[in-house]
Structures are given as structure tokens and as C-alpha cells.
């Protein structure tokens, strides 16, 4: 669906040359919600603007539906961009236009018949829950309502791709959750590919299927959210999780427990249906070791449940090894802490 090949972007010339992106390779499948997370200045917004060529890459290729966008002339690029919607952190609404007129704006640009505009705007107002706000102006709306208008406007041209540039950063937590639920609904209803730029790990955790972590203009880690979140490999990824996740203690592998003779402390991770199964108790029943749960949590990554436990096993070295082998054989991830 979308593939970025060795994308670089630099600004300035000579001694003032400033690299913004370096060697970006990403592949995003149709219907995915793909998150890109990074700190301020990491290159997130530049990356997303390179996808629709609002920023033209210095080098590299941007493929969407089998077409290299970087090779299109201005007229053909304009046509392709109509199938790429975009929503922004600060909404970018026309302040002197009503909600209705804001949503209708992209349709009027391509001279859509007024009857079809009316039908489409009515449909989109219902989709985003603003049926009773058509004649209001942006100044009369809350932040969440403004973003809903922005989402409706971005969908007016029936896009295949929706780019979200820090779409929830200006919103309070409750409103953020409602917008994220709306994006998931849109994704599922229209099989719309969504690329979501954020610096908030809980946004990635809530709705994304896959994630790429960007740092200093390069991708340092990417993959399914479950893999990246539960087993982060890069320091920047760990920093996001440790500082923004409720599971900071569990994800911290430097965690220490009181020293108990003939014991081993491990982190056990469960994923999917195994989260609710009695695998731990069944395993120790067969191996005969004692155990103490020192910490634990159950949560979800998008719609996938996961659990993590810090467990101290007590017994002989052989019995503890058989216990860990048994847990691993059942599909659990086991990491020795001390």
C-alpha cells in the first residue's frame, strides 16, 4: 500500500546543511493503523509531510498503490493527493466558515455538484457525531469538536490514506480517547490506512497495529506494537515506555528483588488469550517449585490483552530451569532479572 524507500531530507546548503531525515525505509499495509513516535525534533512531521509530498524528499522514493509519488508532475500529484486526507494538531479550520462549509471546502475545490456536497456533508456530520453543529463556527466549538470537523473534512474526498500529525496533542485525555475511538471506527468501517504521528506512547498503545520509532531523523526500531512495546530494543523506545507507560516498573529490567537463597527472579510476559489462562500455576504444580508474585499487571495493546508478572521462583536449580522451560514451551516470554 505505502512504501518509503531510503528517504532523505535535508535543509539548507553548504555549511548550513541540516539533515532532517536519513535513510528512512517503511512499509505500511492497506488497512493498518501505523504509528510513528519520536521526541520533538526527531523528524516526525517532516516524515509525514514527505508521504504526500508537501515536503519533497531530497532523495528516495514514496510509493502509494504502486505509484512513485516523487515521479509525478504537478497536475498528476494534485490528483493523487485527493486520496490522501490529513488532520493536524491545531485543526487548521477556516475560522470564518461554518462547520458545514469547512467540511464542504475540499469538495467545492473540485467543483462537486451542490446536491452531492449536501449529501456528503450530512453523512460525514453523522459519522463524527456533529449533526447538530453544522451551522456553528469553529470559535463556538470545543477542541474535540474542532478535531472532529477536521476529521470529517479529511474524509470528504473519500481518501485511501489518512495522515494524522499529532492529532490529539492539543486535547485533554478524555477527549483524546474519544478521538482515538473515532479513528479506530473509521479504520474498521472503511478499511482506511491511517498513519499517526505522535510523541505519546499511550496513543500508540491504544490504537496502532505497528509502530516505528524515529530518532535524529532515522528509524531506530519498528514492528508490531506488541513486539516493540513488550520487548523494546532501543534506548529511545525504552525511554518512551518507561516514562509514559503505567507499566514502567515491569518494563524496567534493572528491577531488583530481595535476595532469597535458591531462587531466581524473572519477568513473565503473557499475550492474547494466554493472559487469562492458569499457565503459571499449572506449570509450577508439575515442577514442584514455590513462587511469589512480586508485581503484576494486565492491560491491552489496541484490542490485544497482555499481562506481565515479576515472579520469584524458589527451589533447586534444576526444578527452576524446568519451570522456565515449561513456561516458554507454553508460548510465554520469560526474562531472567536476577
DSSP secondary structure string, 244-255? H-TTHHHH-TT-
151 and 78 within one domain? yes
232 and 200 within one domain? yes
Domain boundary among 183, 213, 244: 244
240 and 187 within one domain? yes
70, burial (CB in 10 Å: exposed 0-12, middle 13-18, buried 19+): middle
pLDDT of residue 243: 73
298 and 274 within one domain? yes
180 and 97 within one domain? yes
Q: Tens place of pLDDT for every residue, the chain, 338 residues? A: 899 999 999 998 878 888 899 999 999 999 999 999 999 899 999 999 999 999 999 999 999 999 999 999 999 999 999 999 999 888 899 999 999 999 999 999 999 999 999 999 999 999 999 999 999 999 999 999 999 999 999 999 999 999 999 989 888 989 999 999 999 999 999 999 999 999 988 899 899 999 999 999 999 999 999 889 888 889 999 888 877 655 555 455 555 666 778 899 999 998 888 888 999 999 999 999 999 999 888 888 888 888 889 999 999 999 999 999 999 999 999 989 87
265 and 233 within one domain? no
32 and 68 within one domain? yes
Per the CB < 8 A criterion, the answer to whether 268 and 334 are in contact is yes
230 and 293 within one domain? no
Domain count, the chain: 2
> 3-class DSSP state for residue 97?
coil
CATH number at residue 40: 3.40.50.300
169-129-34 Cα angle (round to 5): 45
User: Hey, what's the cell of 167?
Assistant: 492529532
CATH number at residue 317: 3.30.70.260
170 and 98 within one domain? yes
181 and 309 within one domain? no
pLDDT of residue 314: 94
Domain boundary among 196, 218, 244: 244
Largest Cα–Cα distance in the chain? 79
pLDDT of residue 153: 96
b/e per residue 270-280 (b: at least 16 CB within 10 A)? bbeeebeeebb
pLDDT of residue 248: 52
Domain boundary among 207, 225, 244: 244
pTM: 0.87
219 and 290 within one domain? no
Laid out side by side, the sheet with 67-68 consists of 18-28, 2-11, 59-64, 67-68
Tell me which residue of 185, 1, 170 sits closest to 84, measured CA to CA: 1
Q: Please tell me the distance from the alpha carbon of residue 228 to that of residue 236, in angstroms, as a whole number.
A: 11
pLDDT of residue 225: 92
Domain span including residue 190: 2-244
143 and 117 within one domain? yes
Cite the beta strand spans of the chain per DSSP E: 2-11, 18-28, 33-37, 59-64, 67-68, 84-88, 161-165, 193-198, 210-215, 218-224, 263-271, 290-301, 304-314, 333-336
Amino acid at each position: 500500500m505505502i512504501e518509503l524507500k531510503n528517504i532523505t531530507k535535508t535543509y539548507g546548503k553548504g555549511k548550513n546543511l541540516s539533515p532532517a531525515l536519513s535513510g528512512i525505509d517503511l512499509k505500511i499495509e492497506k488497512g493498518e493503523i501505523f504509528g510513528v513516535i519520536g521526541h520533538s525534533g526527531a523528524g516526525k512531521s517532516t516524515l509525514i509531510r514527505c508521504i504526500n509530498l508537501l515536503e519533497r524528499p531530497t532523495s528516495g522514493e514514496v510509493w502509494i498503490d504502486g505509484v512513485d509519488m516523487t515521479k509525478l508532475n504537478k497536475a498528476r500529484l494534485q490528483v493523487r493527493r485527493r486520496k490522501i486526507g490529513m488532520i493536524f494538531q491545531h485543526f487548521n479550520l477556516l475560522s470564518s466558515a461554518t462547520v458545514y462549509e469547512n467540511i464542504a471546502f475540499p469538495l467545492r475545490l473540485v467543483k462537486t455538484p451542490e446536491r452531492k456536497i449536501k449529501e456528503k456533508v450530512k453523512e460525514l456530520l453523522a459519522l463524527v457525531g456533529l449533526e447538530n453543529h453544522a451551522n456553528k463556527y469553529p470559535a463556538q466549538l470545543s477542541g474535540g469538536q474542532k478535531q472532529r470537523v477536521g476529521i470529517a473534512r479529511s474524509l470528504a474526498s473519500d481518501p485511501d490514506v489518512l495522515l494524522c500529525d499529532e492529532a490529539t496533542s492539543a486535547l485533554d485525555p478524555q477527549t483524546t480517547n474519544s478521538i482515538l475511538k473515532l479513528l479506530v471506527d473509521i479504520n474498521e468501517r472503511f478499511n482506511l490506512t491511517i498513519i499517526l504521528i505522535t510523541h505519546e506512547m499511550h496513543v500508540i498503545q491504544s490504537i496502532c497495529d505497528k509502530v516505528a520509532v524515529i530518532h535524529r531523523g532515522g528509524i531506530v526500531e519498528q514492528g508490531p506494537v506488541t513486539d516493540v512495546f513488550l520487548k523494546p530494543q532501543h534506548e529511545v523506545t525504552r525511554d518512551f515506555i518507561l516514562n509514559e507507560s503505567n507499566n514502567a516498573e515491569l518494563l524496567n529490567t534493572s528491577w531488583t528483588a530481595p535476595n532469597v537463597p535458591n531462587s531466581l527472579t524473572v519477568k513473565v510476559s503473557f499475550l492474547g488469550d494466554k493472559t487469562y489462562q492458569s499457565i503459571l500455576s499449572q506449570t509450577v504444580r508439575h515442577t514442584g517449585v514455590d513462587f511469589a508474585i512480586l508485581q503484576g499487571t494486565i492491560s491491552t495493546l489496541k484490542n490485544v490483552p497482555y499481562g506481565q508478572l515479576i515472579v520469584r521462583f524458589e527451589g533447586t536449580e534444576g526444578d527452576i530451569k524446568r519451570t522456565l522451560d515449561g513456561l516458554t514451551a507454553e508460548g510465554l516470554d520469560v526474562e531472567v532479572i536476577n
